[in-house]
């Protein structure tokens, strides 16, 4: 889907892209504000939620995915690693405020660990990964396969996390 969207929009003027992004944001906010607290916290509001609260899916699709998969990598490619990292840190701080539960806190730290691994900040990546797995052990299996963490897999501290 991303490749198709890219091809459709690649030659459009930046001003048009920004207008469309603003309109999409407006529509998202309108949709979220139109939902009740019960619906946003509900795990069966939509048939494809798979037991996850609706607000988490909204946060994932509207912020986590675009930031981690698109915006931060663009800044890194442009040589603005520090800015990308600052965006990731600020985002993690804001996302962390949405839910104090260990599962969510672990996921927030896990995404930050992935960013650090991708930009070569090994110490920070391992620290956040250790925190993430301690808070959300359900991430353990995926963390051993996640391509975002490939750069740290040979590190002794990484291997120690998995008893290797």
Task: Kindly report, residue by residue over 68-122, the tens digit of the pLDDT.
Answer: 888 899 999 999 999 999 999 999 999 999 999 999 999 999 999 999 999 999 9
Select from 1.25.40, 3.40.50, 3.30.1380, 1.10.10 the CATH code of 53-161: 1.25.40
Q: CA angle, 69 as apex, 135 and 102 as ends, to 5°?
A: 10
The residues spanned by each domain of the chain are: 53-161
- Residue 22 CB neighbour total at 10 angstroms: 10
Instruction: Provide the whole-model pTM.
Output: 0.83
């Amino acid at each position: 889907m991303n490749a198709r969207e890219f091809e459709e929009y690649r030659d459009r003027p930046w001003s048009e892209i920004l207008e469309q992004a603003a309109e999409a944001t407006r529509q998202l906010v309108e949709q979220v504000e139109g939902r009740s607290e019960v619906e946003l916290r509900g795990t069966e509001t939509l048939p494809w939620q798979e037991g996850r609260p609706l607000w988490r899916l909204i946060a994932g699709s509207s912020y986590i995915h675009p930031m981690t998969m698109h915006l931060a990598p663009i800044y890194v490619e442009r040589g603005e690693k520090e800015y990308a990292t600052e965006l990731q840190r600020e985002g993690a701080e804001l996302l962390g405020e949405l839910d104090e539960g260990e599962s969510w806190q672990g996921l927030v730290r896990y995404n930050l660990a992935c960013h650090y691994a991708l930009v070569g900040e090994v110490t920070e990546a391992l620290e956040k990964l250790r925190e993430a797995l301690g808070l959300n052990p359900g991430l353990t299996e995926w963390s051993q396969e996640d391509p975002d963490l490939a750069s740290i897999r040979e590190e002794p501290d990484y291997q120690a996390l998995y008893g290797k």
